[in-house]
């Protein structure tokens, strides 16, 4: 992902091949709405997500790719998407430049 012409996030998604084989999800351009819309087309749209977030220093490759100092932390986020049957339909691993993001969450008590 790019902001003002500079990469600020690296992301890789993993999906069950048996679920997405032969679908538009396997194409470079998944079409309007992206991966989640295509999962919905297959009857497996995400209904729940779980995120794990931790801070750490970037690897040399991450710092170089993101064009940032190796002394500035990155946020490592792993998002797991579940369908209505609680099947894992995607795991997305993201590395975020910590200077470019604000994570804002709201929870019910």
- Please check whether residue 37 lies inside any domain of the structure: no
**Separation between Cα atoms, residue 102 and residue 104, nearest integer Å:** 6
Report the DSSP beta bridge partners of residue 10.
95
Task: List, for residues 4-60, the tens digit of each pLDDT value.
Answer: 888 999 999 999 999 999 999 998 889 999 999 999 999 999 999 999 999 999 999
For residue 63, the domain's CATH number is: 3.40.1410.10
Measure the CA–CA gap between 68 and 5, rounded to whole angstroms: 13
Can you tell me which residue has the tokens 């894992």? Answer: 88
Q: What is the mean pLDDT of residues 70-90?
A: 97
Q: What is the total count of domains within the chain?
A: 1
On the question of pLDDT at 3 being above 90, the answer is no
Q: Is the full-model pTM beyond 0.85?
A: yes
**Are the beta carbons of 70 and 60 closer than 8 angstroms?**
yes
Residue 10 lies in a domain: yes
Q: Residue 93's pLDDT is what?
A: 97
What is the reported pLDDT for 1? 85
Long-range contacts of 15-19 (CB under 8 A, 24+ apart): 15/39, 15/89, 15/90, 16/87, 16/88, 16/89, 19/44, 19/89
Specify whether the CB–CB gap between 96 and 74 falls below 8 A.
Answer: yes
Name the residue range of residue 57's domain: 2-15+46-100
Which pair of structure tokens corresponds to residue 44? 């497996």
pLDDT at 105 over 90: no
């Amino acid at each position: 992902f790019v902001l003002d012409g500079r990469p600020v996030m690296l992301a890789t998604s993993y999906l069950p091949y048996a679920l997405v084989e032969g679908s538009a999800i396997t194409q470079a351009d998944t079409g309007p709405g992206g991966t989640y819309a295509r999962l919905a087309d297959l009857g497996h749209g995400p209904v729940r997500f779980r995120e794990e977030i931790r801070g750490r220093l970037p690897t040399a490759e991450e710092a170089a790719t993101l064009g940032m100092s190796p002394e500035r932390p990155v946020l490592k986020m792993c998002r797991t998407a579940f369908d209505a049957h609680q099947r894992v339909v995607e795991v997305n691993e993201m590395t975020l430049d910590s200077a470019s993001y604000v994570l804002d969450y709201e929870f019910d008590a």
